Chains A and B, each alone.
Chain A
Amino acid sequence: MLMPTQITRHIQLWLIVFGICLMSACSNGEDAAKKLKSNFDAPHPTSPGGTMIDAMTGEPSGLIAMIAGESAASAIAGNIFNSLLKYDKNLDLTGELAQSWEVSADQRTITFHLKPNLKWADQRPLSSADVLFTWQKVTDDNTRTPYGSDFKLVSKAEAPDAQTFRVTYAVPYAPALDTWAGLHILPKHLLQDQDINNTAFARHPVGSHYYKLSDWKNGQYLKLSRNPYASQGQANIEHLLSRIIPDKAAQFLELSADNIDSMALNPIQYARIFPSRPDLSNNIGLYKELGNSYSYMGFNLKRKPFDDVRVRQAINYAIDKQEIIDGVLLGLGEPVASPYKPGTRWSNPKLKPYPYDPNKARTLLREAGFADTNGDGILEKDGKPFSFEILTNQNKEREMTAVLIQRRLKEVGIEVNIRVLEWASFLGRFIKPKQFDAVVLGWSLSLDPDQYGIWHSSQQAPGQFNFISYSNPQADKLLEAGRIELNPDKRMKIYHAFSKILLEDSPVIYLSAGYGLSAIHKRVKGISSPAPAAGIGHNTYEWFIPKAYYRNEMNDQ
């Protein structure tokens, strides 16, 4: 047995050991020195050079974006490869490899004129033959890409001379220009006798953009260095280093220790941790921008009572979207009223989200024939209680959203159960066979307004994206018209009208559009804030790091 005196003696001993640890912890001079040199706000002239280190959660599987598909691959490959067109900071299309382009009078033929003297990073000339080759690869049945269908609509592609590339569509296809802004042009001379599906090129890419890959350590980092023959001029920062750190908390520790310069934050890090840590805000700038995605609750319109528009509207009125934005996103989001990014031309500024109005919800439900006949607090119709299930996949934000919806709907007399599933079974067992009442999900959208695949009544087969079975002849007509109209102003009117119908029909309830949140060290200069429509990343090539702020270990470069 332990005697009381022995206990105290040992507690004393441990306290001493612990205290020594603490003391040595406090007397560390290096940290104090590090904190002193932290005035990053002084003005500096633009200068080339330096290394910027960021962190990403996943590793690209390869750098041919059409085959790799994941976001990590597109992010890195976007610095290496060019497309014919790109979006400028106001999200309007402009030429990248193409100097100009023309659309024929019948809107079926697009002719691209390439900029003169384009070169690959290996100094070989870049010509329309490379563009034609890329189109042939993306439409080839042996190419393992899921993105071929847009390009298969091209009935004829030709390269009449080295500077000209012409595509002809069987019918006018309005999203065509957007698809050409998303296709990375690949070098024919390196890939023509390779199997694109497993070529070593995916790990040793040669592109034409600002950077080229200089080092790739599997599972650790990818390092890009400036491409001296870049088609768009020279970027300022010499090296971009992307470290692969799967855990967000570990990324944040690396950021706090000044080992990385930038990372994408989650709302808690942005809204809770940063304000409580002034030492971090000294060195690190925070940026927020509206992303290209929104979250929604979608109904299975084939199931009763969701086929009744009054029920859908009632539920829309009964849900407090601001509460979801505040509770789930910590206020870092906006309500939306159309499936288009607010502030862009496609988003109809006249549309307003359904306000939170539980009384109106009750009235609409009464009109739809629901009443609480047995006094249990749950509405009934034809003797059946109004009870349904919200499905969502394993995603903390979506789970929390579903819980908030559950509570608000209970207040108007609707009972909601929540089921959370792993993605593959969610998709395979519930979405494809349409075995669900309602889902909480999100859409990430391309910048083109065409959403034929999501809303057109012909797109309801298993595996297609109108899995909520939305069908409205008027909306169908507008979606078809928007697909063949290449004039931006006429297109805008079409999609504004379409958004209005969609809001009234309420086949989905728009919940929120969250902000993309990023932290970037203040040693990186030239960042435009507030971010333009295209986001803060639109001009990364203009960012620079003044020499005084280089990291020590980077001096040798």
Chain B
Amino acid sequence: MASYLLKRILWMMPLLLGISLISFFIMHLAPGDITTSEASFNPKASEESRQKLRALYNLDKPVIVQYGLWVKRLAKLDFGTSFASHQRPVFWQTTDKDGNVTLGMIQEALPITLLINVLSLLLIIGIALPLGVISALKQNQWPDRGITMFVFLGFAIPGFWLALMLMYWTGVQHSWLPISGLESMGHENLTWPAQIWDTLQHLVLPVFISAITGLAGISLFVRNGMLDVLHQDYITTARAKGLNENKIIYGHALRNALLPLITIFGLSIPGLIGGSVIAESIFAIPGMGKLFYDAVLMRDFPVIMGILTIGAILTMLGNLLADVSYAWADPRVRRGAM
């Protein structure tokens, strides 16, 4: 097992290098750089000054040289500093000689996005599992149809529209929930239970919106997985030998139906760090989606590369985790693979 893991992790290195190389070149295929944003199209900013900026950021060098410089820094685990955000470190905080700490951009955005996505994933699982099981047990009866209709409605409704409607209803018509942001004004003066309560209130809508769109996929997955398993011979056998129906469904069928979900969750790990641009913009949440979107618009290359690299690493780790969990959960895989 240990040697298998080591092998897998070592293989990640060349893979990561390849991914970063391709990302770097694709990023540079898009025209423009930090000096050509719409805001800098201003007669007060002269072309000579822009050339000077380009030279200071090494943007005048060939792409392959720029890539070499980037890899050289990355080898020291340095993701560099942002072009657009006044040299803020891309990944982790730095301390200057006077002891001023500047927080990293990903360091700040990642926990927020992670929190929202993990909560919404838990919510999805909590709702989708029972819905999927009910659908499968009542296949083609009204609960099944009703649930399918409901989850597809959630999938089909534009998230931004639903978000705005809910914000209007719960925030403007009634002061039930805060409209946007992560904290109320004066948050830092509250006691810590009140702070948690305040943050939770702010998280209700963003988590709900991101969960409602993800419900359809998982609940249908559980439903179909259950249906497959329920038609297996061993379920018929279990029924034939007179096992309790609850034990058949929850002890035998569901456990086997959940196996493919491991893959889905493994694959959703990179998704956990990628926030939704639209939801984050509407709810004014400074998460990863907004960070990446702004970086692309500004051609803020170090930030783009930082997010892509960390995303690639997490995707690979997610795959590894999924494979390992498979081996743990399914004896057939364990015997075959190792």
Using a CB–CB distance below 8 Å, which chain A residues touch chain B?
A: 2, 6, 10, 25, 28, 30-31, 53, 59, 61-62, 64, 67-71, 141-142, 144-150, 182, 197-200, 202-204, 217-221, 241, 243-247, 249-250, 253-254, 256-257, 259, 393, 423-425, 427-429, 444, 446, 451, 453-454, 461, 463-465, 553-554, 556
Contact = CB atoms under 8 A, between A and B. Distances in A.
Given A148-B49, A197-B87, A219-B108, A553 B142 contact: no
Interface in B11-43: 30-33, 35-43
Given A30-B175, A464-B47, A553-B186, A220 B35 contact: no
A378 B179 CA distance: 53
Contact of A253 (B31, B103, B167, B299): B167
A141 B290 CA distance: 33
Nearest to A198: B87
Contacts of B100: 200, 204
By secondary structure, the B interface counts as loop
Interface in B65-113: 81-82, 84-88, 96, 98, 100, 102-103, 108-109
Interface stretch (B251-259, B262-270, B276-284, B318-326): B276-284
A373 B179 CA distance: 62
A200 B181 contact: no
B185 interface: yes
B32 A250 contact: no
Contacts of A247: 180, 281-282, 284
Contacts of A30: 174-175
A258 B258 CA distance: 48
Contacts of A453: 43, 46
Interface in B205-258: none
Interface in B127-147: 141-142, 145-146
Contacts of B82: 61
B45 A147 contact: yes
B181 A245 contact: yes
A150 B39 CA distance: 18
A259 to B, nearest CB: 7
A62 B85 contact: yes
B338 interface: no
B39 A71 contact: yes
Nearest to B53: A144
Given A197-B87, A253-B164, A454-B43, A243 B284 contact: yes
A141 B142 contact: no
Contacts of A71: 39
A220 B182 contact: yes
Contact of A553 (B30, B81, B169, B184): B184
The list of the 9 closest CB pairs from A to B, nearest first, reads A219-B286, A424-B32, A62-B86, A146-B45, A200-B100, A198-B87, A428-B31, A463-B47, A453-B43
B49 A147 contact: yes
B142 A220 contact: no
Given A68-B86, A148-B49, A247-B284, A253 B44 contact: no
Interface centre among B32, B44, B52, B56 (most CB of A within 10 A): B44
A241 B187 CA distance: 14
Contact of B31 (A147, A243, A424): A424
B43 A10 contact: no
Contacts of A219: 108-109, 285-286, 290
Contacts of A204: 100
Interface residues of B, number: 69
Contact of B46 (A149, A182, A249): A149
Contacts, number: 171
Given A553-B184, A556-B189, A2 B145 contact: yes
Interface centre among B47, B141, B145, B183 (most CB of A within 10 A): B47
A149 B48 contact: yes
B168 interface: yes
B173 interface: yes
Given A67-B86, A198-B81, A427-B36, A246 B281 contact: yes
B293 to A, nearest CB: 10
Contacts of A423: 32, 36-38
Contacts of B171: 253, 257
B334 interface: no
Contact of B173 (A31, A245, A451): A31
29 contacts: A6-B142, A30-B174, A61-B86, A146-B35, A146-B53, A197-B86, A200-B96, A200-B100, A217-B183, A220-B286, A221-B181, A221-B185, A244-B286, A247-B180, A247-B282, A247-B284, A250-B167, A250-B281, A253-B171, A257-B172, A259-B178, A425-B30, A427-B31, A427-B32, A427-B41, A428-B31, A446-B43, A453-B43, A556-B186
A446 B314 CA distance: 47
Contacts of A256: 172
Contact of B179 (A6, A182, A259, A429): A259
Contacts of A202: 86
A249 B172 contact: no
Given A200-B100, A243-B181, A427-B32, A145 B49 contact: yes
B50 interface: yes
Given A61-B86, A220-B181, A427-B32, A28 B174 contact: yes
Contacts of A67: 86
Interface centre among A61, A199, A202, A464 (most CB of B within 10 A): A61
Contact of A200 (B56, B102, B281): B102
Contacts of B109: 219
A424 B87 CA distance: 22
A61 B85 contact: yes
Given A146-B46, A150-B44, A254 B174 contact: no
A444 B96 contact: no
Given A250-B180, A254-B180, 12 more contacts: A64-B86, A69-B39, A69-B45, A70-B39, A146-B49, A150-B44, A197-B86, A219-B109, A246-B280, A393-B38, A424-B33, A453-B46
A246 B31 CA distance: 25
A218 B167 contact: no
A203 B56 CA distance: 22
A10 B32 CA distance: 58
A145 B86 CA distance: 11
A446 B280 CA distance: 34
Contact of B102 (A144, A203, A463): A203
Interface string B155-179: 0000000001001110111110011
Nearest to A445: B43
A76 to B, nearest CB: 13
Contacts of B299: 424
Contacts of B40: 69, 146
B164 A249 contact: yes
B316 to A, nearest CB: 28
A199 B98 CA distance: 10
Given A61-B84, A61-B85, A198-B81, A31 B32 contact: no
B282 A249 contact: yes
A241 B281 contact: no
A246 B173 contact: no
Contacts of B103: 218
A149 B49 contact: yes
Contacts of B53: 144, 146
B175 A245 contact: no
B269 to A, nearest CB: 24
Interface centre among B82, B169, B180 (most CB of A within 10 A): B180
Contacts of B164: 249-250, 253
